[in-house]
Amino acid sequence: MSNFVELSIAKAINAGIRKSMQDNSKVLVFGQDIAQLGGVFRVTEGLLDEFGAKRVFNSPIAESGIIGTAIGLAMRGFRPVAEIQFDGFVYPAFNQITSQLAKLTNRSEGFFEMPVVVRVPYGGGIGAVEHHSESPEAYFAHTAGLRVVSPSSANDAYWMIQQAIESRDPVMFFEPKRRYWQKGQVNLDQAALSLHAAHTVRQGSAVTIATYGPMVVTALQAAENAAAEGIKIEVIDIRSMSPIDFGHIVESVKRTGRLIVTHEAGTFVSISSEIAAKIAELCFYHLEAPVLRVGGFDVPYPAAKLEELYLPDADRLLEAVDRVLAY
C-alpha cells in the first residue's frame, strides 16, 4: 500500500527538501530570509530548527553572491539549494548562472560537477508590485548546461525537488507562486515520473494543450468548460522546459491533429516557440491546423490591478481552441 498525504505545493516542496536533507548531509539551504522566517512564502519553514544554522542560513541581499556561494560550495562537494526570493530578482545573478554555473562542468572536462538547485518562485496572479511576477524561464532553457523544470502539483513538487537535488547538473527549479496553496495528494513512497518526463493530466481527442507550472490548472479549467460542449481536450503538463519530452507531445498530437501551447510568459522567443517549431517539424503530416500559442502579451508585466488582463485565462484558451477547430 502506498503512503499518501494531502499537502499544499509549498508544504510539499518543504517536505521534499527536508527528506533530501535527512538523506544527505551535504545538502545545504540558503537565500534571503529563508532561515528564521522560512522565506517569504514559508517554503523553508522549520528547516532551521531541524538542521541548524550550518545547513540552513540567510544570505545577504545579493543574488549574484548567492549563486557565487552555491558554485563554491558545489566545488567543495556540497549540494546547495539556493533560493532567489522572487523571479524578477534573478537577473543580478544571471551572469553567474549562465556564464559560470551552466558551464563549469564542461569547462573543467567533468572535474567539477555542479549539483546546484536554484529555486525561483515565478509567475503572476498574487497582486504583487513590479519585479515580483516575472516568467524568466526561457532565458535559462536557452542556456546549455542548465536543467529547467517546474512542478504543477503537490506530488510533483515533492518528488521533483528531490530529483533536482540529486541531479549532478545544475537545475533551475521554477515554483508557481500563485499555486503554492493548491493542495493535492502526495505519494510519499515513490515518484511516478522521472524529472524530465511529460505527463498527460487529462485525456482527449480533439485538441492537445501543452503547458506547465501555473497554467496547468487554467488549461484544465478550459478543458472542463469545453467538455460541456462535447469538445474533448487533452492536457499535457510538460513539467520540464529543458530538456523537453517531445516524444510525449508528438504521441498526443499524432492522435488529436491539433496543438495549443500556453504559458504565462510572452510568446516571442519562448518555450512555446520552441515547442511549436519542433512539433511542426515532427508532426507536419499529422497536423490539421497550425500550432497556436497563448501567453502573456509582449509588454512588461503590468501593475497588479491589470494583471488579470495580462495573464492567459480559460476564455483565451477556448478562443484558441475555436480557431484550431475551424480549420
**If DSSP codes are grouped into helix, strand and coil, which group holds residue 29?**
strand
54 Cβ neighbours under 8 A, 6+ residues apart: none
- In sign, the C-alpha dihedral spanning 191, 193, 198, 204 is negative
Distance CA 66, CA 68 (A): 6
DSSP string, 202-251: E--SSEEEEE-TTHHHHHHHHHHHHHTTT--EEEEE--EEES--HHHHHH
Contact 237, 211 (CB under 8 A): yes
Q: C-alpha distances in angstroms, 161 versus 76, 120, 137?
A: 22, 12, 17
165 Cβ neighbours under 8 A, 6+ residues apart: 17, 20, 24, 27, 79, 81, 115, 117
Burial of 306 (0-12, 13-18, 19+ CB in 10 A): exposed
Residue type, 159: W
Give the count of beta carbons closer than 10 Å to the beta carbon of residue 286: 15
Q: Which active-site residues does the annotation give?
A: 132
Half-sphere exposure of 127 (CA within 13 A, CB side): 1
Residue type, 204: G
Residue type, 70: A
